[in-house]
Amino acid sequence: MDIERVNEHTVKFFITYRDIEDRGFDKEEIWYNRERGEELFWEMMDEAHHQEEFPLEGPLWIQVQALDKGLEIIVTKAQLSNDGSKLELPIGEDKQVDLPVDDNIEKLLDQQFKKKNEEEEFDFENEDYLSFLIGFKDFEDVISLSHHFNGEEVVNSLYVYKDSYYLYVTFEEDSSEKYQDDQLSQLLEYGFESNLTIYMLEEYGKVIMKEAALEQVKKHFSL
């Protein structure tokens, strides 16, 4: 999970569906089971509190966006106005939104975590594929891999971020578990599984080859 402290009042999370499941949650139940959705949310907030010293007390404004690979969650801490009648919600430099105190902030959490099927912008059935992000110490390792890798069923893209190279690989839905294990083992002979996310690379890195990256590297670079 990635945590970004946007400003004094706001923190942004990106958590992949795989990370959600690794934490013991079902990626579907967090939308329909309020108790489980809140449990995941406060687990994330606890990490933000320890990592970024983001305060946990007080009313929070929560925005959730479902992306292809996971959830982007923006949490903003609202402040009580001087006269105590309104909650002041900062939304940018010199801007704020006032909310009546009797507005139930908790309902905002319900609205975000309990979406109806017709309101969802993604389909969980399309998440039946496996993706990995492989990092490389230098480009020579990428070249060596390209000349020895024969994974025809592996979709791959190449990125650069902070002078390091990353190969984002996705296995076809119908590829066997044994095939996936064999190909992953081969990939890890030349690189390492990165803790970064594809979201981070797309946001802050640069794509070098969007499709068939290894095939292109092999074509243009000799051993």
CA–CA separation, 218 and 108 (whole Å): 51
CA distances (Å), origin 65, targets 68, 85, 223: 10, 30, 44
Domain assignment of residue 138, given as a range: 128-220
One domain for residues 157 and 109: no
- The DSSP bridge partners found for residue 5 are 11
- The verdict on 104 and 141 lying in the same domain is no
Q: How many domains is the chain built from?
A: 2
Structure tokens at 98: 């006032």
Where does a domain end: 102, 123, 144? 123
Same domain, 93 and 203: no
Which residue spans within the chain are E strands per DSSP?
A: 2-5, 10-16, 60-66, 70-77, 79-80, 86-92, 95-100, 130-136, 154-161, 164-171, 192-193, 206-209
Q: Per-residue confidence of the chain (223 residues) as pLDDT tens digits?
A: 999 988 888 889 999 998 999 999 888 878 778 888 888 888 888 888 888 888 776 677 777 888 888 898 888 876 655 554 455 555 444 444 444 433 444 444 444 444 433 334 434 334 456 889 999 989 999 999 999 998 777 899 999 988 899 999 998 778 888 888 899 999 999 999 888 888 888 888 888 898 899 999 999 888 8
Do 54 and 79 reside in the same domain of the chain? Answer: yes
Residues 109 and 142 in one domain: no
Q: 């609205």: which residue's tokens?
A: 111
The helix (run of H) or strand (run of E) holding residue 9 is none
Q: Are residues 114 and 197 in the same domain?
A: no
Are 59 and 79 in a shared domain?
yes
Answer yes or no: do 114 and 180 share one domain.
Answer: no
Shared-domain flag, residues 116 and 149: no
